[in-house]
Every structure is written in C-alpha cells, then in structure tokens.
Amino acid sequence: MVEMSVIGIALDAASRSPIVLLRDPSRRRQVPIWIDQAQAHNIMAGLNGEPSPRPLSHDLMVSLLAAGELHLERVIIHAIEDSTFRAVLKLSHDAPVDEMEDSADYEPIEEQQTGDDLLNIDARPSDAIALAIRTGSSIWMLEEVVAEASIAVDAEADAEDRTEFRRFLDQVSPAAMVRHLQSRQPKDEETNEDTPLE
C-alpha cells in the first residue's frame, strides 16, 4: 500500500468537473479522482480549516464518531470497478474492548471485524477523503490502484520545460513567431476536378 496525500482540487478542462488530486510520497505519481461540486466544497473546507456556521455533513460524521467512541485509523482506496474508485474506512474503538463489553447495549459487529480488530465501513472515496482530512487520518491506496490510475508527475522535467520555454520566448521576435506559425499551417490543396466531392 502507498500512503497518499491530498494536494488539492482541480477542474477537468473538458467537463469542468472537480477532481481531487492525491500524490504519492515520491511526488512522482498523482491520482485524479472525479468528484461532485458538494464534495469538492467539503474537501476544500477541510483543507483550509474553514469553520462553518452550521456543521457540514463531514463535520457531523466526525461528531458521530466521537460520540460513538470510534476513531478513524485510516482510509484505504482499494479498487477501481467500472471506472469507480472503492474505499473503506478503518475504524477502531477509542474505549477499551473490556469497557465496551460491560456496556448493556454493546453488540459486536462480527461480520465487519477484521483480523486487525478494526471495523471496515464501505465509503465513497470523496467522503472518506473529506473525513480523513478532518480527523487527521492517513489515506492509503493499494499499489495496483496507484499503478492503474496514476499519472506521472515529474517536477524537474516540468521546471526544465518552463525554463526552456521562457528562454525561447525571450529570444524570439514577434515577426519570427508569425513566420513560424504561418509555416506550420497546412497548405491549401488544389482540388482536382476528377476527385469526387464528399
């Protein structure tokens, strides 16, 4: 598994849909996850630490976890199915298990318990990410998912490209730029009368 960090929200140039961007520790790969506007707002509010006059849905979830003496240990984005990311919340009990078992209304959730004594709760990645931001929990992604969905990020190459482009712009005159652009335009092809029109 790879621990990912949220680097921000971007907009898809074609669809204008928001995307949350996760980056790996090497800073060489990032995974874009398309989300809706409301989720983008919730994630940005969490990243910016903006207080809300009334609790947002993820603030409410944090309060419910605290009231239930549950702690979000980590989020795991574990699969992509039909172009949809799948995530799970890994929750632990804040109170020792002995105290919980003594409680009259304690009911263990056997089917959701894992070998590591954490509860697994299925979640949309956008909800899981917004919740992890508010609780300071880590976000993990299976290596196979990172390999399938990531796009390469090469900060050094990007910086070199920008520097090279600036040098080019500093050296080129407007007249030379016009000549260059005109030379790259396709020449009008002469139409032959024998060529059928489409």
For residue range 134-185, what is the model confidence (pLDDT) as tens digits? 999 999 999 999 999 998 886 666 667 667 777 877 787 778 777 777 777 6
Q: What's CA 74's distance to the chain center, in Å? A: 15
Q: 2-152 domain in CATH 3.10.690.10? A: yes
Long-range residue pairs from 8-11, CB within 8 A, at least 24 positions apart, any chain: 8/47, 9/40, 9/43, 9/44
For residue range 70-99, what is the model confidence (pLDDT) as tens digits? 999 999 999 999 989 999 999 998 754 444
Say whether pTM exceeds 0.85: no
For residue range 13-69, what is the model confidence (pLDDT) as tens digits? 888 899 999 999 988 899 999 999 989 988 998 898 877 788 888 888 988 898 899
